Amino acid sequence: DQQVKQNSPSLSVQEGRISILNCDYTNSMFDYFLWYKKYPAEGPTFLISISSIKDKNEDGRFTVFLNKSAKHLSLHIVPSQPGDSAVYFCAASSTVRGGSNYKLTFGKGTLLTVNP
Amino acid sequence: DSGVTQTPKHLITATGQRVTLRCSPRSGDLSVYWYQQSLDQGLQFLIQYYNGEERAKGNILERFSAQQFPDLHSELNLSSLELGDSALYFCASSTGTLSSYNEQFFGPGTRLTVL
């Protein structure tokens, strides 16, 4: 049972344009969401996160939008750069009160290719 | 560089053998997480330790075990290895404070190949 889904295995965009990566989740207990970027032969790198009490969080070229009613989040990258080419993972967590149990449930990733 | 170190980078072994993967968290981080990434799967949570104590367990096989030592480094022990255990194993750490969510920072991973 895949609780976090990234339905697009790959996405190709032109340099300078917007990249939109999508993620859906099924578990209503998830209340914190993160995006990680991964280059080959490296570990995932934290990009940006959003708490379920917000619907948008922005950090430079990266913006994450959360639609709780649709159980959907998206990552916007504007403008896209060739160095953004990587696998992007969506992850979700359920913050358990009284503990520091913040395990992440990951989607399978989307390979973003930004063409010069 | 995330500040999380993992050794070894690559490990090749035979079925039935036992291996130990090591992780040193970022300085000051109390929580350590282990994840497995197989070819056809995303990153799967295995187990979490917080300040030396097991905090959460995911889909970790009984053949696998882990521990976190007083200096906060962690080891993941995999025994009676099978071909299907071949995967990338990632360690992540976070500060682990109870008041709010803490982002996890990942190490470069250990690639395990079981022949």
A→B interface, C-beta within 8 Å: 4, 32, 34, 36, 41-46, 49, 51, 89, 91, 93, 95, 98-109
Which pLDDT does position B2 carry in this prediction?
A: 85
Q: Which residues pair with A112 in a beta bridge?
A: A11, A86
Query: What is the mean pLDDT of the segment spanning A96-114?
Result: 79
| Residue contact B33–A108, C-beta within 8 A | no
pLDDT value of residue B55: 86
Q: For residue B13, count CB atoms less than 10 angstroms from its CB and return exposed for 0-12, middle for 13-18, buried for 19 or more.
A: middle
- C-alpha neighbours within 13 Å on the C-beta side of residue A46: 20
Q: Name the residue in chain B with its Cα closest to that of A94.
A: B101
- Write out pLDDT tens, residues A25-60: 999 989 889 999 999 888 999 999 999 999 999 999
Give the pLDDT score at B34.
Answer: 96
The pair of three-digit structure tokens given for residue A56, joined into one six-digit string: 């948008």
Cα–chain center distance at B71: 16
The pLDDT assigned to A96 comes to 62
Q: How many residues does chain A have?
A: 116
Structure tokens of A34? 């993160």
User: What pLDDT is stored for residue A99 in this prediction?
Assistant: 47
Report the chain A residue with the minimal C-alpha distance to residue B33: A103
Chain B residues touching residue A103 (CB < 8 angstroms): 33, 45, 48, 56, 58
Q: What pLDDT does A95 receive?
A: 74
pLDDT beneath 70, residues of chain B: 96-101
CA distance A23 to A104: 14
Distance in angstroms (rounded) separating the CA atoms of residues B35 and B50: 15
Q: How far apart are CA B11 and CA A15, in angstroms?
A: 38
**Which one is predicted more confidently, B42 or A98?**
B42
The Cα–Cα gap between B35 and B56 comes to: 12
What pLDDT is stored for residue B95 in this prediction? 82
The span from the CA of A56 to the CA of A58, in Å, is 7
